[in-house]
Amino acid sequence: MFTMINFQKELNSEQLKVVEQGEGPCLVLAGAGSGKTRTITYRVAYLLEQGVKPENILLVTFTNKAAKEMIERVKKIIGNDLKLPWSGTFHHIGYRILKKYAEVLGYKNNFSVLDADDSLELIKLCLKAEGIDRKEKRFPSAKVLQTIISFARNAEMSLEEVLELKYENFLAISDILVRLVEDYHKRKQEANVMDFDDLLVNLYLLFLKNPVIKNKYAEQFQYILVDEYQDTNKIQASIIELLATKHKNLLVVGDDAQSIYSFRAADINNILEFSTLGEFTLNRKGKYPNAKIFKLETNYRSTPNILNVANCVIANNRKQYEKKLKSVVKEFAKPEIYSFADQAEEADFIVNQIFELQAEGVNLNNIAILFRAAYQSQALEMELTKQGINYDYRGGIRFFERAHIKDVLSYLRIFNNLEDDISWRRILNLQIGIGPVTVEKIIRMIKTFSGEEKNKEKVREEKINSTSLMTMLKNFSYLERNFENIKTQLSAKAQIGWNDFLQVYFEIKEIIESEEKCSIGDLIRVLIKSKYKEYLENEYLDYRERIQDLEQLALFADQTEDLSQFLAEATLQENFQQIDKEEISAEDLENKIILSTIHQAKGLEWEAVFVIGLTSGQFPNDRAIREQGLEEERRLFYVAITRAKKYLYLTYALTGGFFVQSSAILGGAGFLQEPSMFIDEIDKDLIFDNSFKEGNVFFDDEEIEYITDDNSPFDPGSFLKRISDL
Q: Is 318 a catalytic residue?
A: no
Side-chain half-sphere of 240: how many Cα atoms within 13 Å? 29
Kindly state the helix (H) or strand (E) to which residue 338 belongs, with its residue range: strand 336-340
- Which among 323, 643, 645, 646 is annotated as catalytic? 643
Choice among 14, 197, 198, 228 that is catalytic? 228
Integer Cα distance of 17 and 294 in angstroms: 8
How open is the CA angle 315-319-321, to the nearest 5 degrees?
70
| CA separation, residue 414 to residues 264, 419, 453, 483, 624 (Å) | 39, 7, 19, 15, 36
Q: Cite the beta strand spans of 242-334 per DSSP E.
A: 250-254, 292-296, 298-299, 326-327
> Under DSSP, is residue 58 helix (H, G, I), strand (E, B) or coil?
strand
What is the C-alpha to C-alpha distance for residues 118 and 618, in angstroms, rounded to an integer? 36
- Answer yes or no: are the C-beta atoms of 105 and 206 closer than 8 Å: yes
- 567 class by beta-carbon count within 10 Å (0-12 exposed, 13-18 middle, 19+ buried): buried
Angle of helix 234-243 relative to helix 211-220, nearest 10 degrees? 70
- Are 41 and 77 in contact by the 8 Å Cβ rule? The answer is yes
Exposure string over 185-199, b if 16+ CB within 10 A, otherwise e:
beebeeeebbbbbbb
Q: 292-296 and 298-299 as β-strands: parallel, antiparallel, unpaired?
A: unpaired
The single residue of 15, 89, 236, 258 carrying the catalytic annotation is 258
Whether 641 and 648 have beta carbons less than 8 Å apart is answered as yes
Q: Exactly one of 37, 189, 222, 358 is catalytic; which is it?
A: 37
Burial classification of residue 529, based on how many CB atoms lie within 10 Å of its CB (0-12 exposed, 13-18 middle, 19 or more buried): exposed
The C-alpha angle with vertex 449 and arms to 448 and 450, in degrees rounded to 5, equals 90
- Are 528 and 550 in contact by the 8 Å Cβ rule? The answer is yes
Active site (annotated) includes residue 643: yes
- The residue annotated as part of the active site, out of 14, 15, 17, 36, is 36
In contact, 183 and 129? CB cutoff 8 Å = yes
- 634 vs 684: CA distance, rounded Å: 18
For 6, counting Cβ atoms within 10 Å of its Cβ (0-12 exposed, 13-18 middle, 19+ buried), the class is: exposed
Longest dimension (CA), the chain: 92
**Measured distance between the N- and C-terminal CA atoms of the chain, rounded to whole angstroms:** 81
Question: Angle formed by the axes of helices 234-243 and 90-101, to 10°?
Answer: 60
Of 14, 227, 342, 562, catalytic? 227
Cβ proximity of 653 and 343 under 8 Å: yes
Residue 540 CA, chain-centre distance (Å), reads: 13
Based on the residue annotation, tell me whether 36 is a catalytic residue of this protein: yes
Q: How far apart are CA 217 and CA 223, in angstroms?
A: 11
The number of angstroms, rounded, from the C-alpha of 126 to the middle of its chain's C-alpha atoms is 29
d(CA 489, CA 619): 50
C-beta of residue 610 within 8 angstroms of C-beta of residue 371? no
**Which conformational region is residue 263 in: left (phi greater than 0), alpha (psi within -120 to 50 degrees), or beta?**
alpha
* 3-state secondary structure (DSSP) of residue 109: coil
Active centre residues (catalytic): 36-37, 227-228, 258, 643
